[in-house]
A = this chain, B = another copy of it.
Amino acid sequence: MKQTLAVDMDEVLADPVTKMCDWYARDYGVSITAADLQGHALSALVPPERSHIFHDYLNTPGFFRDLPLLPDAVTVMERLNEKYELFIVSAAMEFPNSLKDKYDWLGEYFPFLHWQQICLCGSKVIIQTDIIIDDRSRNFVRHRGRKLLFTAHHNVLEKECERVNNWQEVASLLL
């Protein structure tokens, strides 16, 4: 039997951060640079009274529908889909207006995935797979498989996890 592999969406397959920064610049006239982001949550970089704005952006219908792909995500995922029992596992339930957009986005860029392979959840504590790739180490706490932390701006200072910096590194490790 193939090993099961769970792959996160945001900041792993898709880039929502650039769009959040673009919208923030549009609305407040303030640029957040890549250098600003290193080691920080986006909400920590803005005045406290604006920290809700990113949640509002993420729950805007359409926000997730046209996000850019991370480099090599499609080609590596297509090969992983041959070797593993592959699942998309995204903690999307915090943003209920994102659910259909995420489904449609996956259908557009990953047409080789079946609907049975998509899981839009709240907490990931009930997800158990042989391997998980995620940019949030909080999703590893109760996971019993191999955990691969996908590098994202907010996790660059974390030292504890096995890390993959990009999809080519995922390919080297898992294919």
- Chain A residues packing against B (C-beta within 8 Å): 4, 6, 85, 87, 89, 93-94, 96-97, 99-100, 103-104, 114-123, 125-129
Contacts and interface: CB of A to CB of B under 8 A. Distances in A.
Contacts of A128: 126-128
Contacts of A103: 93, 96, 99
Contacts of A121: 118-121
B118 A114 contact: no
A109 to B, nearest CB: 15
A122 B126 contact: no
Contacts of A117: 122-123
Given A99-B120, A120-B121, 9 more contacts: A85-B125, A93-B119, A96-B99, A97-B100, A119-B121, A119-B126, A126-B128, A127-B127, A128-B128
The 6 closest A-B pairs by CB, nearest first: A116-B122, A99-B99, A119-B121, A128-B128, A116-B123, A93-B115
Nearest to A120: B120
A117 B94 CA distance: 10
A118 B99 contact: no
Contacts of A129: 126
Contact of A122 (B115, B122, B127): B115
A128 B115 CA distance: 19
A99 B97 CA distance: 9
A126 B96 contact: no
A44 B169 CA distance: 48
